[in-house]
Amino acid sequence: MYFTLLGLPAAGKGTQAKKISQVYDLTHISTGDIFRRLIEEETAFGIKAKKYIDQGKLVPDQDTIQILKENLQQVNLERGCVLDGFPRTLKQAESLTVILAEMGLKLDMVFYLQVDKEVLVHRLSGRRVCPNCGATYHLEYNPPQVKGSCDRCEHHLIQRADDKPDTLQRRLQASSDEMDKLVDYYQKQGILVAIPSEKIEMVFTRIKQAIEVRM
Ligand code: AMP
């Protein structure tokens, strides 16, 4: 089974992708996570990508598509995979169709997590992350036990540069500009499943129902 998740930043793509990959034993591929790893490793690409990410911009299509393609070729796709954060542009979606077709594969379903922009701004501006172990918190919904400190490893929590107010607005704008095109692209292929992004467990139940109907 091959899935991807569409949605504006903080619509819950990462959370749902992790749950899908665990329950259905699929490989989880997140372009955001790949970029953060390359930035951490200070590779030439990581240094380049960081400039875009810190400004709230999308990493250019050509680079992103190349990184995704290399990743798809390296990981175990025997049982399938769930993509998270890719595609974000129509060009990426069209390239993904070609890359998968070259591997004899195709997407089975695209989950579109719909959520209001105001809700997203609230979710993103309160998000805090641990740069050491990757744990995510929210100042209001999921605060750490000790203010500013990670529950798991006690490392100092930070706000992602791309979650800061100015960058955040630019990021949301850049993403929503392309979202309509992506929705249209997958709707025409008959594989789009739109799900209002509410409580995590409710969203996941809807995803499971959709998967089980098609399996
Ligand atoms: P995420 O963790 O998915 O929110 O991604 C963090 C940042 O990485 C985004 O705000 C983008 O700058 C960049 N990024 C992730 N995936 C893509 C993509 N498919 N295309 C372009 N940029 C991306």
Q: What is the pLDDT of residues 28-41, one digit of tens each?
A: 999 999 999 999 99
Q: Poorest-confidence range of 45-54, 62-71, 83-92?
A: 45-54
69 CA distance to ligand 1 centroid (A)?
Answer: 15
- Mean pLDDT score across all residues of the chain: 92
DSSP state of 145: S
Atom of ligand 1 nearest to the CA of 9: 4
Choice between 169 and 182, residue whose per-residue pLDDT is larger? 182
pLDDT at 5: 97
Once rounded to an integer, what is the mean pLDDT over residues 143-155? 96
pLDDT at 185: 97
54 CA distance to ligand 1 centroid (A)?
Answer: 10
Tell me the whole-structure pTM to 2 decimals: 0.85
Nearest CA to ligand 1 atom 14: 32
Establish whether residue 88 lines the binding site of ligand 1, counting it when its CB lies within 6 angstroms of any ligand atom. yes
Nearest CA to ligand 1 atom 3: 32
Q: What is the enclosing helix (H) or strand (E) of 111?
A: strand 109-114
Topology of the domain comprising 2-115+169-204: Rossmann fold (3.40.50)
pLDDT at 209: 96
pLDDT above 80: residue 56: no
Which of 83, 88, 120, 159, when mutated, tests ligand 1's pocket best, judged by the most ligand atoms within 8 Å of its CB? Answer: 88
CB neighbours of 203 closer than 8 A, spacing ≥ 6?
Answer: 12, 16, 113, 195, 196, 197
Nearest CA to ligand 1 atom 19: 86
3-state secondary structure of 153: coil
Please give the structure tokens belonging to residue 160.
């992602």
- Cβ–Cβ < 8 Å for 157, 149: yes
Question: Helix (H) and strand (E) counts for the chain?
Answer: 8, 7
31 CA distance to ligand 1 centroid (A)?
Answer: 6
Choice between 6 and 116, residue whose per-residue pLDDT is larger? 6
pLDDT band, residue 117 (cuts 50/70/90): confident
Once rounded to an integer, what is the mean pLDDT over residues 51-64? 90
User: Which residues belong to the active site?
Assistant: 13, 88, 127, 160, 171
What DSSP letter does each residue of 25-50 carry, written as one string?
T-EEEEHHHHHHHHHHTT-HHHHHHH
